[in-house]
Amino acid sequence: MIVTLIVVCEVGFWVLLAAGLATRYLLGMPRTGLALLLCEPLLEVVLLAATAVDLGNGAEPSWEHGLAALYIGYTVGHGHRTVKWLDGHAAHRLAGGPPPPRPPRYGTARAAHEGRVWLGTLVAAAVATALLQLAARYVGDPDRTGPLYSWMYGAWRAAGIHGLIALSYLVLPKKAPKAEKPRDRGQDRGQDQNREPTGTR
- Residue 194: pLDDT band by 50, 70, 90 thresholds? low
Dihedral sign of CA atoms 139, 144, 147, 150 in order:
positive
pLDDT digits (tens, 9 = 90+) for 126-148: 999 999 998 888 887 777 788 88
Asked, for residue 129, whether it belongs to a domain, the answer is yes
Its pTM stands at 0.78
Mean pLDDT of 11-37: 88
Other Cβ atoms less than 10 A from the Cβ of 69: the count is 25
Q: Is 98 exposed, middle or buried (0-12, 13-18, 19+ CB in 10 A)?
A: exposed
Structurally, the chain folds into a number of domains equal to 1
Q: What is the pLDDT of residue 12?
A: 87
Asked, for residue 130, whether it belongs to a domain, the answer is yes
Asked if residues 70 and 128 have their Cβ atoms less than 8 Å apart, the reply is yes
Dihedral sign of CA atoms 20, 21, 25, 30 in order:
positive
Asked, for residue 197, whether it belongs to a domain, the answer is no
Q: What is the pLDDT of residue 163?
A: 95
Asked if residues 134 and 68 have their Cβ atoms less than 8 Å apart, the reply is no
Asked, for residue 171, whether it belongs to a domain, the answer is yes
Other Cβ atoms less than 10 A from the Cβ of 76: the count is 18
Asked, for residue 192, whether it belongs to a domain, the answer is no
Average pLDDT, the chain: 84
Half-sphere exposure of 17 (CA within 13 A, CB side): 20
Domain span at 145:
2-175
More confident residue, 67 or 159: 159
- Residue 200: pLDDT band by 50, 70, 90 thresholds? very low
Asked, for residue 69, whether it belongs to a domain, the answer is yes
Q: What is the pLDDT of residue 111?
A: 93
Asked, for residue 105, whether it belongs to a domain, the answer is yes
pLDDT digits (tens, 9 = 90+) for 107-125: 999 999 999 999 999 999 9
Asked, for residue 16, whether it belongs to a domain, the answer is yes
